[in-house]
A = this chain, B = another copy of it.
């Protein structure tokens, strides 16, 4: 029985298991559901034991628990792979927009509808099906690589305890590569792998002028107006080419390779459709010399998220306002240090605040780095071969514009990332009526089965 036959023969059981798991409302963001997140961890533990993992543990945190499992390779010299995913799910609000019960998963043709079906329970579970298929097809009793799984319970709440958990268990989590199955492919018939996610850092800027709002008849034109200073500071963040002007901002940025740009360009992309998804934006806009996909995936940004000051109510009020405020955030790419960007922003503000205005820069948190998975790494090449065997077609590459805890995983465990996932952008994750394409979950299982063999050879 080959991998594909095994998966077909076991598909019904696989989806029955998945529906059972999806019925547990493991919403990490709602304290009332903490007990359900614990039930979810217990369910997964049982499932992984049944799958054959000799070691399965629930790891407590100050918040909600993660599940760890390990299945050593028969060959002690084989490489080690860590699979990362999460068993918590997003809240279900607005509830009235769900056409089915979010925690009573039902099939609708090829689709399985339910909260967590794509993000991320379905994508965690295809690994156990793939693992069993690979073992069955090879008539072995253990996988060709040591497989570890870490399935956390707080990803949808920002993974607040993950870094500490990773550090505390760094020895047991040691691995040669980290497989993340929590992203999407380009389209059902255009399989792809993610090669990076942008990081983020934020700042809040306050500018203070006169102690009180002044009458512009008496004072206008002779005292500094903090709204003018704010407009100039924010306008000055970009040059006419759409590049960020902060000194050193692009230092160390890992450039897009020609090969990755070439492969991005092969993705079928309709800019008009994309603009429609972008709130019916009327035109693309951004850094000169890059395509829309390159801009959102692989280029760093400065974005003003909010701005306010002076009279904002109805009617006119001819004042020189006392204060101006703005919230700014920076999307980062590989090679950028969030703390360095914050320092550069602070220095920029200090250097460009006019006399008579006092500036305060608040830096709410350190932010997080981008994560990056180069397409020419051994792990990505091996995983891509496995994906191509499963899908029977070329596998392209994408990135994601925002990110979760992946950079922490890679940094703390000092291992490269490989993104293998079969979700779609149309899966409505984080939204009502989340679904997953069931045939794609089976393709994911198949790719996983091949991947262990590919890794056994490529990473040795």
Interface residues of A (CB under 8 A from B): 198, 200, 202, 204, 209-225, 227-228, 230-238, 275, 278-287, 292, 295-296, 299-301, 303-312, 315-322, 324-327, 329, 331, 354-358, 364, 400-403
Contacts and interface: CB of A to CB of B under 8 A. Distances in A.
A312 B275 CA distance: 26
A275 B214 CA distance: 11
B279 A221 contact: no
Given A235-B231, A308-B309, A287 B221 contact: yes
A150 to B, nearest CB: 23
Contact of A217 (B213, B215, B400): B400
A318 B200 contact: yes
Contacts of A301: 216, 220-221
Contacts of A331: 216-217, 220-221
B223 A228 contact: no
A235 to B, nearest CB: 4
A221 B356 contact: no
Q: How many copies does the complex hold?
A: 2
A222 B307 contact: no
B221 A296 contact: yes
A265 to B, nearest CB: 15
The 9 closest A-B pairs by CB, nearest first: A217-B402, A210-B279, A283-B356, A306-B310, A221-B301, A231-B234, A306-B311, A235-B235, A224-B285
Given A217-B198, A283-B356, A329-B216, A309 B306 contact: yes
Given A214-B278, A356-B285, A358-B282, A401 B231 contact: no
Contacts of A322: 279
Given A235-B236, A278-B223, A308 B303 contact: no
Given A214-B279, A215-B402, A217-B403, A327 B317 contact: yes
Contacts of A305: 216, 227, 310-311, 316-321
Nearest to A274: B222
A236 B228 CA distance: 9
